[in-house]
């Protein structure tokens, strides 16, 4: 899948499998806020990109709700990854946990739920899915 917004931010897909995705980027000078640290919008876009990719591996899906908590700042040049894993999959919705990590430290935590529009996996029973996070 080509995503012009991800390309504009310099984000790269490192891993994509059913219900999971890893997206990476580097904090550039144009990603900084007035404090000289990574803008929350950049980190959110990184996490949201991993969320979108992971959730659409099982067919078309659109976001219902998202939340992000920020824990530590990053400066220019920092390498950062968003690691999305499916925590619940039902016939019509799915929920994902996305850890935003830099140098082995948790920078932010994103959770999001999608509405599944159909396609592959419509017969998935409620409450099933990949509940175990994968090793990165």
Question: Are residues 26 and 78 in contact, defined by beta-carbon separation less than 8 angstroms?
Answer: yes
Q: First-to-last CA distance in the chain?
A: 22
Token pair belonging to 90: 């039902």
Token pair belonging to 53: 């990719």
Annotated binding residues: 63, 70-71, 90-92
Annotated binding residues for CoA: 63, 70-71, 90-92
């Amino acid at each position: 899948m080509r995503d012009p917004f991800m390309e504009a931010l310099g984000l790269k897909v490192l891993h994509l499998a059913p219900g999971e995705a890893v997206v990476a980027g580097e904090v550039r000078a144009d990603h900084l806020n007035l404090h000289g640290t990574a803008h929350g919008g950049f980190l959110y876009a990184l996490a949201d990109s991993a969320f979108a990719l992971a959730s659409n591996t099982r067919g078309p899906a659109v976001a219902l709700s998202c939340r992000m908590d920020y824990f530590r700042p990053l400066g220019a040049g920092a390498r950062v990854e968003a690691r999305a894993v499916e925590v619940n999959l039902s016939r019509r919705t799915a929920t994902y946990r996305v850890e935003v990590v830099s140098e082995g430290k948790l920078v932010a935590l994103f959770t999001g739920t999608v509405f599944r529009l159909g396609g592959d996996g419509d017969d998935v029973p409620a409450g099933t899915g990949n509940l175990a996070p994968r090793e990165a």
